[in-house]
Amino acid sequence: MSERADVVIVGGGVVGSSAAWHLRQDGFTGRIVIVERDHTYARASSWLAMGGIRQQFCTPVTVQMVQFSVRLWKVFDRELGTAEARPRAWFRQRGYLFLANAAAATALMKRYEEERRAGAVVQMLSVDEVRQIVPDVKLDDILFGVLGPEDGYADPREVLFGFRRAVEAGGTEYRVDEVVGIDRAGGRVTGVKLASGGAISSAMVVNAAGALAGRVAAMAGLRVPIEPVRQMMFRCVLPGRWPYRFPMLIDPDGVHWRHDDPVGPDDRDAIILAFTNWKEQAGENFESDTARWTRDFYPAMVRRLPALKDVTDVTGWPGLYEMTPDHNPVLGPHPALEGLIFANGFSGHGLMMSPATGKIVSELVRLGRSTTFDIAIFAPDRFDRGALVHDAATI
């Protein structure tokens, strides 16, 4: 006889954990079981993320979700502290700064106007104003910048374990196992099968499986095009104490980096760099492509920061984006199967809006609908209907 739960959450990263936390915050008293296949999170997107948080999007509901999330990021350490530990999310509102050269100027100007109409807080900066923020960055080909002053970044690992500790303190169980099947009957979910041979009966299953969410959907007989795509990141130690802190800086050629602050007295300033490769083949690929440092990252970095041409202390790691065809999330129930809620497909933006996503899942479970946000455009069946979401601000 299988055990029972009121809610089963597939995936214990920041999205699944945020969902459980918001359920408890909103007064849900039922039994919640989070099934997470890797308790170390060694390959979890949450653990390997860059930690960027921005409201610079062109879709109003996306802007609203990030703005909602920022309200929690500001008080995260206090609100999610437990008797045993207090997290250090290290949320720093140093801004997201997009740079425009001649090739990118028209598109970024259009995006700026669309973002303002969508409700984002953004500022157009002259080159001199950009130079005041990043005085060592070479700007000879830059025409202007667009700054999101309320944007910033956080420490993904502290965020993940901050959520997890708070959720466990609230009585939710994290089960180290893997969901290998979704049970259904009469057009609705009835539970999940586990790799260990067990099963959990439940009328409510949340698919928060991140890069593997498409696979979980297929277990339920649904086709939702969410695919894992590898992205490389590198951490580069800066020479000595750096005199200022970088925002999240987005270069026109695609590389972006942010400051990584020293924590202890013996630590050194560093930057974390990412370079989105839209040509990367889909697949659960964790092979570290360190050759990209020499081929892509280092040349792009030194073009902007010549002072770093002699850096040698560099480490790299791969992580997975959960990509959808339109690079926008998949949120809500699927009309073909009652009781299965999707919370995935963020395409690199999952951590930044995980508080809002947790709130959405809480409302869907408790109320049967999302009341805080209008998530209709992110419906899981939109790909079958050809109703893709177009947002020029995805990177």
Domain match, 310 and 332 both: no
Instruction: Give the tens place of pLDDT for each residue, 111-134.
Output: 999 999 999 999 999 999 999 999
Confidence of residue 216 (pLDDT cuts 50, 70, 90): very high
Residue 47: what pLDDT?
92
* H runs (alpha helix) in 2-122: 14-25, 45-48, 60-79, 105-118
Average the pLDDT over each of 17-31, 169-183, 257-271, 321-335 and give the range with the smallest value: 257-271
Instruction: For residue 7, give both structure tokens.
Output: 């809610």
CATH of the domain at 296: 3.30.9.10
Residue with tokens 């040698």: 312
List Cβ neighbours of 385 (8 Å cut-off, separation of 6 or more): none
Instruction: For residue 218, give both structure tokens.
Output: 């297929």
CATH of the domain at 23: 3.50.50.60
Confidence of residue 1 (pLDDT cuts 50, 70, 90): low
Could you tell me if residue 23 is inside a domain? yes
Domain match, 372 and 238 both: no
Residue 330: what pLDDT?
99
Average pLDDT over residues 17-25: 98
Pairing of strands 96-101, 142-148: antiparallel
Separation CA 305–CA 308 (nearest Å)? 6
Residues in the chain: 395
- Mean pLDDT, the chain, rounded, equals 94
* DSSP, residue by residue, 53-74: E----SSHHHHHHHHHHHHHHH
Residue 267: what pLDDT?
83
Domain match, 76 and 184 both: yes
Average pLDDT over residues 262-289: 82
SS3 239: coil
Instruction: Give the tens place of pLDDT for each residue, 91-113.
Output: 999 999 999 999 999 999 999 99
Instruction: For residue 4, give both structure tokens.
Output: 């029972």
Residue with tokens 């196992």: 177
| Domain boundary, last residue among 319, 335, 366 | 319
SS3 173: strand
> What's the total number of domains in the chain?
2
Phi, psi at 325, each rounded to 5°: -60, -30
Residue 253: what pLDDT?
87
| Domain boundary, last residue among 278, 300, 319 | 319
N- to C-terminal Cα distance for the chain? Answer: 47
Instruction: Give the tens place of pLDDT for each residue, 232-274.
Output: 999 999 987 888 999 999 999 889 999 999 877 778 899 999 9
* pLDDT tops 90 at residue 386: yes
- CA-nearest of 322, 321, 335 to 387 is 335
Could you tell me if residue 71 is inside a domain? yes
The residue range of the domain holding 68 is 3-84+156-226+326-385
Q: What does DSSP assign to residue 254?
A: S
Residue 110: what pLDDT?
97
Instruction: Give the tens place of pLDDT for each residue, 348-372.
Output: 999 999 999 999 999 999 999 999 9
Domain match, 162 and 270 both: no
Residue 183: what pLDDT?
98
- CA-nearest of 333, 346, 388, 347 to 356 is 346
Residue 283: what pLDDT?
81
**Quick one: CA dihedral 257, 61, 111, 230, positive or negative?**
positive
Domain match, 76 and 173 both: yes
Residue 368, burial from CB neighbour count under 10 angstroms (0-12, 13-18, 19+): exposed
Separation CA 78–CA 82 (nearest Å)? 9
Average pLDDT over residues 284-306: 89
* pLDDT tops 90 at residue 38: yes
Instruction: Give the tens place of pLDDT for each residue, 303-330.
Output: 999 999 989 899 999 999 999 999 999 9
Domain match, 300 and 232 both: yes
| Domain boundary, last residue among 319, 349, 374 | 319
* pLDDT tops 80 at residue 2: no
Separation CA 151–CA 187 (nearest Å)? 42
Could you tell me if residue 189 is inside a domain? yes
Domain match, 363 and 379 both: yes
Domain match, 267 and 295 both: yes
Pairing of strands 32-36, 7-10: parallel
Alpha-carbon separation of residue 232 from 273, 277, 290, 346 (angstroms): 9, 9, 8, 17
- CA-nearest of 13, 18, 1 to 365 is 18
Domain match, 249 and 315 both: yes
* pLDDT tops 90 at residue 180: yes
Instruction: Find out whether 192 and 200 touch, Cβ atoms under 8 Å.
Output: yes
Average pLDDT over residues 211-233: 95
SS3 323: strand
Confidence of residue 278 (pLDDT cuts 50, 70, 90): low
Domain match, 162 and 253 both: no
- CA-nearest of 341, 331, 336, 322 to 207 is 341
Residue 329: what pLDDT?
98
